Structure 1
Amino acid sequence: MPAGEAAAPECAAVLAALPQALRIGGADVPRREIADPVPPATVVWGDAGHDPVTARCGIDAPAELTPTSKLVDISGVSWLEISEGGRTSWLAVDRPVYVALTLSEDSGSGPVQDLSAILRDTLPKQDVFP
């Protein structure tokens, strides 16, 4: 996913608010190193027992986002869910920048709920289609 807004101040605020460890299935999963070239405004959590969970800020509007898209409200944040090949990307679409959280289907909903709380507290809500 291209990330044309990755350098935006809103992404800096989101990145600063992301935790060092993410709670997945009752375990604290640490951040992990990202291979070069590191995509801008990207954080990955994972360890030997957990598939990677990736957060990217400032991505371009996804083609799947249309006025008829089914959005899911999680803790006050509107998300577009895109599943493919055993992984799901959740895209926050009601903030000044788009934020994606990509995880395996067995990671549960905890990471999306946690990121919803961070986005709700960090970025103002806006209309999905202004």
Structure 2
Amino acid sequence: MNSDTGDGPPRAVLVAAIVLAVGAVVAVLVVAAVLQRTPGPTPVAVSAVPAPRADSTECATLVAALPDRLGDFRRAPLVDPAPAGAAAWQPEGGGEPLILRCGVQRPADFVVGAPLQVVDAVSWFRVQDSAGGDRATWFAVDRPVYVALTLPSGSGPDAIQTISTTLAAKLPATAPDPAPLG
């Protein structure tokens, strides 16, 4: 008696179906294992700086509208206690985070005649890191609150462009108010 002439499907079809089902289960398990090993962003410690307007409505509006990604950086949780008006993003491969602080004080070097750079309708004032590295903090100086964005070396233009777009959409432009000379 030939087993291929029975009431069920041919043996070759059954074997192929079983192999396909086992392969699909293995594929799902491999994908799940890879996704489970992908670490989430590590919480970032943000030091407190004088930020008298960090609890303002403007800062709450801005922080709520901040994107999850800034170029190769993705939003990271903050270590508690986190200062009000702060946010951070970490680079995909690890490294120094990008930090935003809203409601900070006017930078001391922002005086009449200080050079500004306009990015997507937002005026920025740059303060170089005092440690002499390539890291810099950019201050948005033409909004109702000062916003500081600290960029690590090599972070590229994506972050400041994206933040500028968000600032322009969420906070109205105001005239910059530099300190008088002398």
TM beyond 0.5: yes
**2:83 paired residue among 32, 35, 39:** 39
In the other structure, the counterpart of 1:23 is: 71
SS in 2 for 1:14: helix
AA aligned to 1:59 is V
Matched residue type, 1:13: T
Q: Give the paired residue count.
A: 126
Counterpart CA distance in 2 for 1:30 and 1:129 is 32
CA–CA distance in 2 between the matches of 1:20 and 1:77?
20
Instruction: Let me know the Cα RMSD of the aligned residues.
Output: 1.5
* More contact order relative to length (CA 8 Å, sep ≥ 6): 1
Aligned twin of 2:116: 71
Instruction: Tell me, yes or no, if structure 1 residue 98 matches structure 2 residue 142.
Output: no
Tell me how far 1:64 sits from its aligned partner.
Answer: 1.0
- Contact 2:118–2:124 at 8 Å: present in 1 too? yes
1:61 to 84, 106, 113: 106
Q: Which structure shows the higher helix fraction?
A: 2
Give the drift of 1:67.
0.8
Q: How far is 1:49 from its partner?
A: 3.0
Residue 105 of structure 1 aligns to a residue whose secondary structure is coil
- For 2:106 and 2:177, locate their aligned partners in 1 and report how far apart those are by CA, in whole Å: 11
**SS, match of residue 69 in structure 1:** coil
Answering whether residue 62 of structure 2 is matched by residue 14 of structure 1, we say yes
Distance 2:71 2:175 in 1: 30
2:141–2:177 Cα contact (<8 Å) kept: no
Distance 2:114 2:77 in 1: 34
Q: Is structure 2 residue 101 aligned with structure 1 residue 87?
A: no
In structure 2, C-alpha distance between the alignment counterparts of 1:30 and 1:124, rounded to whole Å: 26
Which residues of structure 1 form unaligned runs of 5+?
Answer: none
Instruction: Note the C-alpha offset of 1:50.
Output: 4.2
Q: Distance in 2 between matches of 1:50 and 1:17?
A: 24
Please report the TM-score for the alignment, with normalisation by the length of structure 2. 0.65
Deviation by residue 1:90-120 (Cα, 9 ceiling, x = unmatched): 1000000000110112001110000000011
% identical aligned pairs: 40
Partner of 1:49: 94
Moved more, 49-58 or 64-73: 49-58
